[in-house]
């Protein structure tokens, strides 16, 4: 907490707002919320800042309602200062106070760019207010970079919190020991820490599961955590797990998760989550556009021959395609000289492997003595 508190103090003293990107379940939100709820930390914060600083937390619901207001007075009423007009608000600031608004879960807002822009407009008039934006969705973080003006308060001071920030191994062990009982085997404690990578909630639930023998709570939480990343990010994570080449836009998203410590050395840094990422990632659709071209990401992973065969399956989805028909697709007019059932089998084998590795929505079924049938989600 000390390192984070110092950065926030410096930010206020420099007249800046702060954006913090990190994982809520690592205790990040609890740490920052101590500025409001912990009397000692609040007093330290006030003394260290240049002005007497008042900290207010704004909820997601309140901000959504605030976005509906068109006039400045209506917006100020929602800022939680217990003031009812602009004169009282100005009086508060003129009394030597700085006001810091703690904005939790800005990535949960329907229109996060609109609320930040609203705050930016207020900052142009009231220079002694500051904002602390907290979020954990890297995609929203990147989207806001393109949606907001470069001078926005959102970009004044950015802090990216790693997974193990303020979560020491000894602290986790002592906390769980006190709450759930002692695990005496050091090797088991080391394994729990390794599998959770020091992630607060995962460590706690793995520890409890080892004590009770019941893993339901851990598995339910892990599923919720993985699903919270969203379908697009999960598809990128799955590619990381399977060592699939990423596009430039996917690399940009993963770069943020590298900074957060969630992806390290080409791997998901929390080993226990890999299984859930593989199981819960929705499959990507394979489609033909109006020009008859196949559309899906990572199409470059397929050879020209494999793409021609896959296109044939899509054009005849749900219908039997014989090996002889596929032979004509592969060799064209030279099929009589080059046709090989074994070669067709190998092409199908490679396509099946890639469909699975790339998590693409489609399955090639063998119909013995007849050929193959390609089935997507509509034929499951």
Higher-pLDDT residue of 32, 168:
32
Residue 6 shares a structural domain with residue 153 = yes
Render pLDDT for 339-368 as a digit per residue (tens, 0 to 9): 898 999 999 999 998 888 888 888 899 998
pLDDT score of 97 = 67
pLDDT score of 349 = 93
Domain boundary pick from 134, 160, 186: 160
Residue 154 shares a structural domain with residue 19 = yes
Residue 294 shares a structural domain with residue 275 = no
Higher-pLDDT residue of 63, 120:
120
* The total number of structural domains that make up the chain: 3
Q: Which domain holds residue 231?
A: 169-280
Q: How many CB atoms lie within 10 A of CB 365?
A: 12
Q: How many CB atoms lie within 10 A of CB 110?
A: 10
Domain boundary pick from 140, 160, 180: 160
Residue 9 shares a structural domain with residue 94 = yes
Q: What's the chain's average pLDDT?
A: 80
> Residues 223, 224, 227, 230: what is their CA dihedral angle, to the nearest 10 degrees?
-160
Residue 134 shares a structural domain with residue 239 = no
Return the CATH number at 307: 1.10.10.10
- Residue 42, pLDDT > 50, answer yes
List, as own/partner pairs, every contact residues 202-211 make where C-beta atoms lie below 8 angstroms and the sequence separation is at least 24, other chains included: 202/25, 202/270, 202/272, 202/273, 203/172, 203/176, 204/172, 204/175, 204/176, 204/179, 206/272, 207/172, 207/176, 207/180, 207/183, 208/176, 208/179, 208/180, 210/183, 211/180, 211/181, 211/183
pLDDT score of 249 = 86
pLDDT score of 86 = 52
Q: How many CB atoms lie within 10 A of CB 46?
A: 17
Residue 372 shares a structural domain with residue 298 = yes
Residue 28 shares a structural domain with residue 154 = yes
Return the CATH number at 152: 3.40.50.300
Q: Specify the 3-state DSSP secondary structure of 154.
A: helix
pLDDT score of 32 = 79
- pTM of the complete model beyond 0.75: no
80: left (phi over 0), alpha (psi -120 to 50) or beta: left
Domain boundary pick from 137, 160, 183: 160
């Amino acid at each position: 907490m000390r390192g984070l508190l110092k950065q926030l103090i410096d930010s206020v003293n420099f007249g800046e707002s702060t954006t913090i990107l990190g994982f809520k379940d690592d205790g990040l939100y609890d740490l920052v919320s101590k500025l409001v709820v912990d009397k000692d930390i609040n007093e330290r914060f006030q003394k260290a800042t240049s002005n007497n600083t008042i900290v207010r937390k704004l909820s997601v619901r309140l901000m959504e309602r605030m976005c509906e207001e068109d006039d400045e007075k209506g917006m100020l009423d929602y800022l939680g200062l217990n003031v009812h007009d602009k004169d009282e608000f100005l009086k508060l600031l003129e009394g030597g106070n700085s006001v810091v608004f703690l904005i939790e879960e800005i990535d949960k807002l329907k229109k996060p760019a609109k609320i930040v822009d609203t705050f930016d407009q207020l900052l142009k008039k009231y220079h002694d207010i500051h904002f602390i934006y907290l979020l954990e969705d890297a995609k929203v973080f990147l989207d806001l970079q393109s949606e907001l003006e470069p001078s926005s308060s959102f970009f004044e001071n950015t802090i990216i919190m790693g997974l193990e920030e303020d979560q020491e191994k000894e602290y986790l062990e002592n906390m769980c020991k006190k709450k759930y009982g002692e695990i005496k085997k050091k090797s088991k404690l080391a394994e729990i820490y390794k599998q959770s990578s020091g992630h607060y909630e995962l460590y706690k639930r793995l520890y409890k599961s080892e004590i009770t023998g019941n893993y339901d709570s851990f598995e339910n939480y892990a599923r919720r955590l993985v699903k919270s990343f969203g379908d697009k990010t999960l598809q990128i994570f799955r590619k990381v797990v399977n060592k699939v080449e990423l596009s430039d836009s996917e690399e940009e998203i993963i770069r943020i998760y590298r900074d957060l410590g969630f992806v390290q050395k080409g791997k998901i840094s929390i080993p226990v989550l890999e299984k859930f990422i593989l199981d819960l990632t929705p499959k990507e659709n394979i489609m033909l556009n109006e020009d008859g071209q196949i559309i899906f990401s990572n199409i470059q992973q397929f050879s020209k021959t494999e793409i021609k065969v896959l296109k044939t399956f899509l054009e005849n989805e749900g219908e039997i395609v014989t090996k002889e028909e596929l032979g004509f697709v592969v060799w064209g007019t030279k099929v009589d000289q080059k046709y090989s059932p074994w070669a067709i089998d190998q092409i199908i084998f490679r396509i099946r492997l890639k469909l699975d590795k790339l998590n693409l929505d489609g399955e090639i079924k063998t119909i013995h003595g007849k050929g193959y049938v390609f089935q997507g989600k509509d034929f499951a």
